[in-house]
C-alpha cells in the first residue's frame, strides 16, 4: 500500500474519534502519526516493526496497526470505529475542508448518506440555517464535492513521482533496458498528474514487457504487447513503451508534451516542409533529420534546448528562437531552508537534529520557524516560550562551525490582520514567516486585507504558503493575488514557494507573476521531519516552471549575504513603517 493510503486510515480514525468526543490527546497522536507515516521516505509496507517504531509518534500499538493495514488493507479498530460511527459520516469526512464537527452537524440534521444528497442540500441552500454555516460555506462544500468526484482524475505529483522512480529502479535491475526516462506531466513537474508514462530502449523489448507486467505491485495488467504495456501499479495507471534507439529523443519530446508545446514545434516543422512525430524529424523526402536525442530536435529548429519544465506554450518557443531562455535555478543553488519546525511545537525532531540533517545536505543555514501561540493544535509558542527557544538556538550556534541556525517563527495572521505576538518579540528574531491558519472562508476583501496588513508589519519577512491551499484537500482561499504581490513589492516582503508536495504554494503561475514584478522568493519545505528537508526539489521545480533564476530566490544566498539582506530589509522596513 502507498504510505498515503495508510496515513489516510489514521487521519480517518482521528476524525471519527473527534466526532465521538474522545480524548483529544489520543486524536492528536493519530494525526501526528499519520503525518509522519505519509511523509516517510521509505515504503512502509517493506519496514519491520522495529523500523516502524523508529518513526516519531509511532509506538508499539500504532506500529502493529500499520502492519495490520499492510497485510489486510485495513485494521480491526478502524472497522469497529466505522461501525460505531453514524452511517454516512465517512462520506462527509471525505470532502476537503469539511471538518468533523461540521460533518456531524450536517449528519445529525439531515442524515446524509451520499454525496448527491449533500450536493442537492447545498445547492438548495438548506445547509446555511445550521450554526456557523453560511452561503459561502455551502459554496465551499460544493467545491469540495467537485474535488472528490474528480479525485480519480489527477493526483499530487509528490505521491506519483516516488512510485514512478520505484518502478524504474526495479526495471533497471530486472529488465534489459538501455535508456529509460519518465515522460508526461511528471517530467514537466506539473503539480498534479493522471498517470505514469515511461519510455525505454532495449534490444529485447518483450523481456522488458514481461518484467513490467510481473511487478509485485502490478494489481492488474490492462494491456500487454511487444513494445507497450499498461498496468495498474499501486493504484496508479502506468504505461511503458520501448522505442528504437534512433527515435528515443523524438519519442521523449513527444510524450513529455505538453500538447500545446508539441503543436508549436510541429508548426515550425510544417513551415520548413518537414514532418515531426514520435519517430523523429523528417525532411520532405522522408529522410531523417533528427530523433536520437531531444537536443538534436531543438537544434535542428535553431532553438536553444528547452527544459521540460518550460514546455507549456508560455512563450518558451519564441524565447528559445531568440536565445533568451532564462538560466533556471538548480537544486544545487539552494544554501538553506527558511521554514522548518521542531519539537518545540508540532515537529518531530529537536532543533539540533533538524540542523544536523540540513548540514548533511550541504546547507549553510536553517531557519527554525515554529508556530506562534494562536495555533493551539500545534502547541504554538507564547512570548515566554519563544524566548526560551531562542536561548536554545543561541547555545547551539555556539557549538556549530560553518553552519548557523537562524531564529525564526511562523506567526499567525489573525482575522483582523494583526499578528498574534507583539513586535517586541518579533524584533528579536532573524526572520518571521507570517501565515494564515484559520478563517479560510472569509471574503476576498478580508483575506486580502489580512495578508497585506501582515506585510506592512516591519518585522514580517516572508508570507508562508500564501494561498493556503492543500492539493486535493483544500481549495486556495479567495486572495486578490495581484494586490498581495503589489504590496509585497512595496514593502519588500518575500513570498514563499512552499515545497511540501501537497502545498506547492505559490504555484508556478503566481510565482512567475511574482518574478515578473521583481519580488524575491523563498523556497522552503515547511519541514516537520528531517526527511521533509528533501522535499526542497519540489519547490525548486515549481520555481523552474515559473522561469525563475538563482537571483530571484533569497535562499540561494550564502549565510553572510543572507544575513546582510535580512538586516537591510528590516532596517528599510522599520524606517518605511
DSSP collapsed to 3 states, 152-165: CCCEEHHHHHHHHH
Query: pLDDT category, 512, cuts 50, 70, 90?
Result: very high
Give Cβ neighbours of residue 162 (< 8 Å, ≥ 6 apart).
Answer: none
pLDDT winner (highest mean) among 2-6, 219-223, 560-564: 560-564
Query: pLDDT category, 455, cuts 50, 70, 90?
Result: very high
Q: How far apart are CA 242 and CA 204, in angstroms?
A: 9
What the chain holds in terms of domains, given with CATH numbers, is 3-149 (1.10.150.110), 155-242 (3.30.460.10), 247-321 (3.30.210.10), 336-576 (3.20.20.140)
End-to-end Cα distance, the chain: 53
- DSSP summary character for residue 243: -
Q: What is the pLDDT of residue 509?
A: 96
Whose CA is closest to 488, among 438, 451, 459?
451
Q: What is the pLDDT of residue 376?
A: 65
Q: To 5 degrees, how large is the angle CA 143–CA 144–CA 146? A: 65
Using a pLDDT cut of 90, give the percent of the chain over it: 67
Q: Does residue 134 carry a pLDDT above 60?
A: yes
Mean pLDDT of 350-357: 96
Q: What is the pLDDT of residue 28?
A: 87
Which is more confidently placed, 471 or 203? 203
Q: What is the pLDDT of residue 41?
A: 67
Cβ atoms within 10 Å, residue 387: 12
Query: pLDDT category, 319, cuts 50, 70, 90?
Result: very high
- DSSP summary character for residue 86: P
Q: How far apart are CA 419 and CA 431, in angstroms?
A: 14
Cell of 312: 507549456
- DSSP summary character for residue 7: H
- Show the DSSP H helices in 340-493 as ranges: 351-360, 383-399, 423-426, 444-455, 481-491
Mean pLDDT of 335-357: 95
Q: How far apart are CA 247 and CA 484, in angstroms?
A: 47
Mean pLDDT of 246-268: 96
Query: pLDDT category, 90, cuts 50, 70, 90?
Result: confident
Render pLDDT for 27-62 as a digit per residue (tens, 0 to 9). 988 988 888 887 776 778 888 899 899 888 899 999
Q: Does residue 1 carry a pLDDT above 60?
A: no
Whose CA is closest to 413, among 370, 367, 449?
449
Instruction: Give the burial string for 444-467 (b: 16+ CB within 10 Å, else e).
Output: eebbbbbbbbbbebbbbbbbbbbb
Mean pLDDT of 68-79: 88
Mean pLDDT of 376-393: 89
Burial, 337: exposed, middle or buried (Cβ in 10 Å; 0-12, 13-18, 19+)? buried
Mean pLDDT of 440-445: 90
Average the pLDDT over each of 25-29, 519-523, 524-528, 547-551 and give the range with the smallest value.
25-29
Cell of 262: 508539441
- Residue 123: what are its φ and ψ, rounded to 5°? -70, -30
Query: pLDDT category, 137, cuts 50, 70, 90?
Result: confident
- Residue-averaged pLDDT of the chain: 91
Q: Where are the beta strands (DSSP E) in 433-576?
A: 433-435, 462-463, 494-498, 521-524
Q: Does residue 270 carry a pLDDT above 90?
A: yes
Which is more confidently placed, 485 or 233? 485
CA 473 from centre of chain: 12
Whose CA is closest to 162, among 238, 223, 68, 94?
238
Contact (Cβ atoms closer than 8 angstroms) between residue 73 and residue 94: no
Is 372 in a helix, a strand, or coil? strand
Q: Does residue 25 carry a pLDDT above 90?
A: no
Q: Does residue 150 carry a pLDDT above 70?
A: no
Query: pLDDT category, 482, cuts 50, 70, 90?
Result: very high
Q: What is the pLDDT of residue 450?
A: 96
Mean pLDDT of 255-269: 96
Model confidence, pTM: 0.82
pLDDT winner (highest mean) among 110-124, 427-441, 559-573: 427-441
Three-state SS sequence of 110-142: HCCCCHHHHHHHHHCCCCCCCCCCCHHHHHHHH
Q: What is the pLDDT of residue 65?
A: 93
Q: How far apart are CA 162 and CA 44, in angstroms?
A: 13
Give whole-number Cα distances, 301 to 246, 282, 400, in Å: 18, 12, 53
Q: How far apart are CA 112 and CA 87, in angstroms?
A: 8
Contact (Cβ atoms closer than 8 angstroms) between residue 200 and residue 164: no
Render pLDDT for 204-255 as a digit per residue (tens, 0 to 9). 999 999 999 999 888 889 999 999 999 998 878 999 999 999 999 999 999 9
Sequence length of the chain is 577
Q: Does residue 2 carry a pLDDT above 90?
A: no
Amino acid at each position: 500500500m502507498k504510505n498515503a493510503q495508510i496515513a489516510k486510515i489514521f487521519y480517518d480514525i482521528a476524525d471519527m474519534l473527534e466526532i465521538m468526543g474522545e480524548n483529544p490527546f489520543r486524536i492528536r497522536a493519530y494525526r501526528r502519526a499519520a503525518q509522519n507515516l505519509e511523509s516517510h521516505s521509505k515504503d512502509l509496507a517493506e519496514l519491520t516493526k522495529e523500523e516502524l517504531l523508529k518513526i516519531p509518534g509511532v509506538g508499539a500499538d500504532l506500529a502493529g496497526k500499520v502492519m495490520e493495514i499492510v497485510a489486510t488493507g485495513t485494521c480491526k479498530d478502524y472497522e469497529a470505529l466505522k461501525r460505531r460511527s453514524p452511517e454516512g459520516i465517512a462520506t462527509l469526512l471525505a470532502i476537503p475542508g469539511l471538518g468533523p464537527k461540521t460533518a456531524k452537524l450536517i449528519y445529525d440534521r439531515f442524515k446524509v448518506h451520499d454525496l448527491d444528497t449533500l450536493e442537492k442540500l447545498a445547492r438548495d441552500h438548506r445547509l446555511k440555517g445550521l450554526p456557523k454555516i453560511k452561503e459561502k460555506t455551502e459554496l465551499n462544500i460544493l467545491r469540495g464535492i467537485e474535488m472528490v468526484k474528480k479525485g480519480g482524475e489527477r493526483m499530487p505529483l509528490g505521491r506519483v513521482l516516488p512510485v514512478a522512480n520505484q518502478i524504474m529502479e526495479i526495471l533497471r535491475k530486472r529488465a534489459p533496458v538501455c535508456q529509460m526516462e519518465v515522460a508526461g506531466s511528471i517530467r514537466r513537474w506539473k503539480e498534479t498528474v493522471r498517470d505514469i508514462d515511461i519510455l525505454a530502449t532495449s534490444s529485447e523489448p518483450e523481456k522488458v514487457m514481461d518484467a513490467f507486467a510481473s511487478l509485485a505491485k502490478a494489481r492488474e495488467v490492462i494491456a500487454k504487447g511487444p513494445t507497450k504495456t499498461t498496468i495498474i501499479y499501486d493504484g496508479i495507471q502506468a504505461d511503458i513503451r520501448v522505442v528504437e534507439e534512433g527515435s528515443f529523443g523524438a519519442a521523449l519530446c513527444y510524450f513529455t508534451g505538453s500538447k500545446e508545446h508539441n503543436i508549436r514545434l510541429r508548426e515550425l516543422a510544417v513551415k520548413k516542409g518537414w514532418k515531426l512525430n514520435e519517430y523523429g524529424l523528417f525532411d520532405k523526402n522522408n529522410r531523417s533529420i533528427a530523433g536520437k536525442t531531444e537536443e538534436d530536435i531543438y537544434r535542428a529548429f535553431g532553438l536553444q534546448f528547452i527544459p521540460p519544465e518550460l514546455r507549456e506554450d508560455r512563450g518558451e518557443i519564441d524565447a528559445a528562437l531568440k536565445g533568451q531562455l532564462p538560466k533556471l535555478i538548480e537544486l544545487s543553488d539552494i544554501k538553506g531552508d527558511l521554514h522548518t519546525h521542531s519539537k518545540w511545537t508540532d515537529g518531530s525532531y529537536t532543533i539540533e537534529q533538524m540542523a544536523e540533517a540540513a548540514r548533511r545536505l550541504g546547507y549553510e543555514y536553517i531557519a527554525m520557524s515554529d508556530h506562534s501561540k494562536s495555533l493551539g493544535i500545534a502547541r504554538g509558542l507564547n512570548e515566554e516560550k519563544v524566548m526560551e527557544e531562542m536561548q536554545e538556538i543561541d547555545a547551539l550556534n555556539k557549538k556549530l562551525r560553518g553552519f548557523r541556525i537562524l531564529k525564526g517563527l511562523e506567526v499567525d495572521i489573525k482575522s483582523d490582520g494583526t499578528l498574534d505576538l507583539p513586535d517586541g518579540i518579533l524584533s528579536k528574531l532573524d526572520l518571521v514567516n507570517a501565515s494564515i491558519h484559520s478563517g479560510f472562508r472569509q471574503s476576498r476583501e478580508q483575506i486580502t486585507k489580512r495578508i497585506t496588513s501582515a506585510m506592512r508589519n516591519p518585522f514580517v519577512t516572508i508570507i508562508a504558503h500564501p494561498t493556503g491551499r492543500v492539493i486535493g484537500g483544500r481549495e486556495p482561499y479567495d486572495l486578490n493575488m495581484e494586490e498581495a504581490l503589489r504590496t509585497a513589492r512595496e514593502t519588500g516582503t518575500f513570498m514563499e514557494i512552499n515545497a511540501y508536495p501537497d502545498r506547492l504554494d505559490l504555484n508556478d503561475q503566481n510565482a512567475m507573476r511574482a518574478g515578473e514584478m521583481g519580488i524575491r522568493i523563498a523556497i522552503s519545505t515547511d519541514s516537520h521531519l528531517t526527511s521533509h528537508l528533501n522535499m526542497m526539489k519540489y519547490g525548486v521545480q515549481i520555481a523552474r516552471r515559473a522561469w525563475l533564476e538563482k537571483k530571484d530566490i533569497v535562499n540561494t544566498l550564502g549565510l553572510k549575504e543572507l544575513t546582510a539582506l535580512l538586516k537591510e530589509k528590516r532596517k528599510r522596513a522599520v524606517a518605511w513603517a
